[in-house]
Structure formats: structure tokens, C-alpha cells
Structure 1
Amino acid sequence: MFVVSLRFSANRSRAPELMAAHNAWIQRGFEDGVFLLTGGLNAGEGGAVLAHGLTRAELDARVAEDPFVAADVVRAEILDIAPGRTDPRLAFVKG
């Protein structure tokens, strides 16, 4: 399981022109079953994605395809989490 932090960079002003493409990238992640959750970070600092069901290399490639990442509107940081204990509702993330 992965947590992807997408924090705005100095090119934040380009976000409006790329928003439709970024949203299409998010939609594809949900359609593919990879994204479990997306949302904004407090204080308008960017966004986050909870992802699963793929390798780190596959996620790196997917994140690189985000128009916001490609245009340096956001900088991505990926945390790789090996789930140990989960609520029963999240048992599927343990693989």
C-alpha cells in the first residue's frame, strides 16, 4: 500500500490549466482499481492519494504520468507501507 503526497511547487499557478487532465488521471486510477482515496491536503498545500495493488515501480511510472507532476505543479513523495494490523474493513490491503 502506498501514500502519495502531492505538494504544490513554485509552478502552482499552472494548476488551473492542467486540472482537467489531472482529474482524468485520478479517474483512471479509480477505474483501474489502484486508487482507494484521493483528497486535498489542509491549507491548500496539495493533495494525497492512497494506492494499492501495484509495485513501487508501477506506481512511480503512474505518478510520473500525472500532468501536475510532469509540469512540476506538484512534487510527489511516495511512502511505501507494509500493512501489519488493520481494521477488518481494510483487510484486503494486506494482500
Structure 2
Amino acid sequence: MFVVSLNYKVPLTEIDQLQAAHVEWLKACYAEGVFVASGPKKPRTGGIIIAQCPRDILDARLAADPFARAGAADYEVTEFLARMTGPGLEAFKEA
């Protein structure tokens, strides 16, 4: 499983122009079963994505993000093993 931290490199006015395309990209990644959760940081300096897939697939999806294609965000990827989960999240447990 991966935690992806996006950090915006451009003003929010530029992020807002890319937001609709970014949301469509997110929806496609959810439809593929790649993303588990996502949302903006508070304060709005970027976002967080939780993903469960092979690393090469994640890297390909991140490269296709409209924020990445426009050079509007950097991505820090951290891999971890979800050894414990809360109720209802057992499907995400890893051995």
C-alpha cells in the first residue's frame, strides 16, 4: 500500500484551472481499483492519496495526473504494509 503526498508548486489559481481534469483522473483511478482514499491537505498546499497496487502501476497513474503533466505538483510516495486496520477495512490488510 502507498501513501502519496502531493505538494503544489504553482499558485492555487493554476491548480483550480486543472482541478476538473484532476478529479476526472481521480475517478478513473478509483474505477480501476488503484486508489483507496484521497483528499486535499489542510491548509490547501497539496493532497494525499492512499493507493493499493503494484508500484509500476502507481507511477504510471501519477505521471498521467493533469497536475503532473502541467508541472503543477511534486509527488512523494511512501510504501507501507497495512498490518492492522479498523473495522470495515480488513480487505486492505497485508501479510
When normalised by structure 1's length, the TM-score is: 0.87
Letter matched to residue 10 of structure 1: V
Percent identity, aligned pairs only, is 35
Q: Does 1:49 align with 2:12?
A: no
Residue 83 of structure 1: how far off its partner (Å): 1.4
Give the match for residue 62 of structure 1: 61
When the two structures are aligned, how many residues end up with a matched partner?
94
Dislocated runs of 4+, deviation >3 Å: 10-13
The offset of 1:11, in angstroms, is: 5.7
Change (3 A) 1:12 1:74: farther
Where 1:48 maps in the other structure, the secondary structure is strand
- 2:50, 2:55 → 1: CA distance? 13
TM-score, normalised with respect to structure 2: 0.87
**Gapped runs of 5+ residues in structure 1?**
none
Cα distance per residue 1:16-75 (max 9 Å; x no partner): 2211111110110111122111111011111111111x2111101100100101211111
Q: Which residue of 2 aligns with 1:9?
A: 9
**Unaligned runs of at least 5 residues, structure 2:** none
Matches of 2:87 and 2:22, distance apart in 1: 32
- C-alpha RMSD of the superposition: 1.6
Alpha carbons 2:34, 2:58 under 8 Å: kept: no
| Deviation, structure 1 residue 89 | 2.1
In 1, the alpha carbon distance for the partners of 2:46 and 2:59 equals: 18
